[in-house]
């Protein structure tokens, strides 16, 4: 079972990289590019929108949301783009063995959490006044 889980994780990594390369291909429709950017940026972000230390919900994004987003985005991209992008992804994996990181997405998630904390603090302050 552990071998199957590792194989699934490696395939997901390859699919995410495929999306990352497909998002810049001129034959990819704009809506597929938008979804590919969102999914790949979220997956490659070193910070999750829902932190992993939150019971159950913390891993929900990694187990359900990311694979679902990958599946949907891959269905929107033409086959010839996927073939070319998968080749690039396989080359990337063979050469680097590390996934790229999206610090822009990490920054966005930090800003979302800061905004939520500020909103909660403001609501709390107004309730005690």
pLDDT of residue 78: 95
CA angle 119, 47, 14 (to 5 degrees): 140
Q: What's the whole-number mean pLDDT along residues 99-104?
A: 65
**86/79 Cα distance (integer angstroms):** 10
Query: Coil, strand or helix: which one is 53?
Result: coil
38 vs 16, 70, 91, 121, CA distance in Å?
A: 11, 10, 23, 29
pLDDT tens digits, residue range 9-60?
Answer: 788 888 988 998 898 899 999 999 999 888 887 777 766 767 777 777 777 7
DSSP state of 47: S
pTM of the model: 0.65
pLDDT tens digits, residue range 71-92?
Answer: 999 999 999 999 999 999 888 8
């Amino acid at each position: 079972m552990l071998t199957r889980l590792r194989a699934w994780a490696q395939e997901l990594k390859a699919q995410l990289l495929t999306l990352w390369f497909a998002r810049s291909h001129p034959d990819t429709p704009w809506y597929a590019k938008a979804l590919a950017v969102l999914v790949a940026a979220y997956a490659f972000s070193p910070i999750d929108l829902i932190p992993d230390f939150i019971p159950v919900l913390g891993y929900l994004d990694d187990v359900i949301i990311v694979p679902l987003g990958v599946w949907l985005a891959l269905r929107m991209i033409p086959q010839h783009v996927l073939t070319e992008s998968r080749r690039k992804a396989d080359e990337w994996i063979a050469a680097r063995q590390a996934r790229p990181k999206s610090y822009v997405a990490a920054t966005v998630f930090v800003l979302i959490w800061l905004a939520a904390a500020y909103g909660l603090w403001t609501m709390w302050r107004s309730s005690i006044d």
